Structure formats: C-alpha cells, structure tokens
Structure 1
Amino acid sequence: MLPALAFGTILLALSPGAAEAETPMTAEEFDAYVTGRTLTFGTGGVPYGVEQFKQGRRVLWAFIGEECREGVWHPQGEQICFVYEDEPRTHCWYFWMTDEGLRARFAEDGPGDELYEIEQSARPMFCPGPQIGA
C-alpha cells in the first residue's frame, strides 16, 4: 500500500499546473506575459473588466460597462499592485498561470475574490469618453 501511496503523491506533485497554481508570478514573468495585450477578466462565470497593458508598466482599465481609467502597476513583494489616476488607493493582487490562463487573487480579501482570464487580444481597448453635452 505504501508504494502506491508514494507513487500517487509523486504523480500529484508532477501534474501540470500543481506548482504554478500556488506560486505567484514574478514581476518579470507578469510583465513578459501581459505587455502589449488587452485581457478580459471574469469572475463567477461573468465578465468583470478589461485591462490593456502598455509599455513601461502603464495600464488602461475599465469595469464592464464603465469608463476607462489610466494607471500604472508595480511589484510589491509577491504582489502586483495597481494605482489608477482617479483613485490614489493601491490595489494589490497575486497573479499566477494555470492551464486555462492567467488568474488573480485580490491580496486584501479572502479566497473568494479571484479573477481569471477569459479573453486576450493584441488590439487596444475601445474607450468612449464621457457623454458630451450632458
């Protein structure tokens, strides 16, 4: 019985994605993956928001159905943190790769606050401005 149990443990340890799911991406890995891409993130089976990652750690973010906001990202330990032009508060996340793509967990909340990549594109985001004449 012990050899079968040991073999199962080895297979689990070697299975694809087992280590990656628990190991946050470094800032260099994150930068290499996201720069030049526009990623759509979802949560709970629905789209959540879209972020365009530009050169120099600059970003453009929009919640689904809302206006775009510019910002920047920077590493903080194992976290990737974002600051946007309209809000001085820093938003930090843990990012890691899975077989299905990029995943993110908000650093300040419990395990339920997780986003996952549902689409990616090399096209820039479309950001309509505020209503004119309103």
Structure 2
Amino acid sequence: MIKPMMAALALFAPLGLQAQSQEIWADRYDKGIPIGPEAFGAMTEGRAMTYSNGFQDVYVEYYPPGTNAVILRYVGAPENECQTGIWRPEGELICFDWDNGGSVCSGWVEHDGVIISQLFEDGLPLGGFEPISQFSETPISCTLGMVSYEPAQ
C-alpha cells in the first residue's frame, strides 16, 4: 500500500506548501506515515527533492538512478558549490555520509500528501523538520571538482 502511494507522491510536487512553524511541522510529522529505507529509495531514485524550512526552499538533493549517491546544492549557490555523498539505511532512519566528512540521519514520514524529514542524532530526534516542497525528474547541474556532472539528454 505504501509503495504505490510513495510513487504517486514522488511524481507530483505537493501543491500549496504554505509557510508553517516548526511546531506545526512537528505535529504533522508525529501524525505521519513512516517512510522506511525501501520506500525512500523508490521515492528518490532518479529524482531531485527540494527541501524547505517551512518558509522558503533551502536546498535540493539529486539521487542519480541505480546508485545510493546524492548530490546536494543550496538554493542560490553557484554550480561549483555542491556536496556529494551517499545515503544508507540505519534501522528505519536514512543516514547521509558526505564526502567532506560529515554525517546526518533523518526520519521520514508522509502526512496529507507532504513528505517531511526530521533530523536525528544517535537515534534520538533533534527536531529540525524539513518538508519537501518539490519533486522533479530533472537532475541538478553541478560542477564537482575537475568533473562536471551534467544530466544525460
């Protein structure tokens, strides 16, 4: 049941994502349907997700197909300011290991058609709720060191 729902959600951006406080996102997260690693992989593969802080878009992550790689670029940042890494499951959490040495884990839920992530540390929730404002089939363009990542045409 969750797989078809996640596939449908991944194809359409949640329309009308309105500015809401972290307290409201926390309540929505608590009432949401958990998204495990398998559903997360299906939802993200070959797609870009735009993360919001509840008021404005903050960054975009692209998940190249057939890998567990992730490319992150902050909204408004130049093409040469991207981060790369991998995502991996840790229990029901999704952890991101960045090439610059940092790691972060998050839990994921769907509530009323909106995907919401929450940061975790050592398995404990930290808050920091980030609703996904947009899904796209279009990869982000990024210059990574001496190599330029350009989506296949």
Same fold, TM-score > 0.5, yes or no: yes
Q: Which has the larger radius of gyration?
A: 1
- List alignment gaps of at least 5 residues for structure 1: 1-16
Q: Please, what TM-score do these two structures have when normalized by structure 1?
A: 0.73
- State the partner residue of 1:56: 67
Q: Please state whether the residue corresponding to 2:141 is helix, strand or coil.
A: coil
- State the partner residue of 1:11: none
- List alignment gaps of at least 5 residues for structure 2: 1-27, 146-153
Q: Residues 57-78 of structure 1, C-alpha deviation per residue, up to 9 Å, x if partnerless?
A: 1111112233111110000111
How large is the RMSD of aligned CA atoms in angstroms? 2.3
Q: Please, what TM-score do these two structures have when normalized by structure 2?
A: 0.64
For residues 95 and 39 of structure 1, the distance between their equivalents in structure 2, rounded to whole angstroms, comes to 13
Q: Please state whether the residue corresponding to 1:124 is helix, strand or coil.
A: coil
Q: Residues 71-127 of structure 1, C-alpha deviation per residue, up to 9 Å, x if partnerless?
A: 1000011110001112x221100011122321100013533x100111111011022
- Structure of greater relative contact order (alpha carbons < 8 Å, 6+ residues apart): 2
Counting matched residue pairs gives 111
For residues 29 and 96 of structure 2, the distance between their equivalents in structure 1, rounded to whole angstroms, comes to 27
% same residue:
25
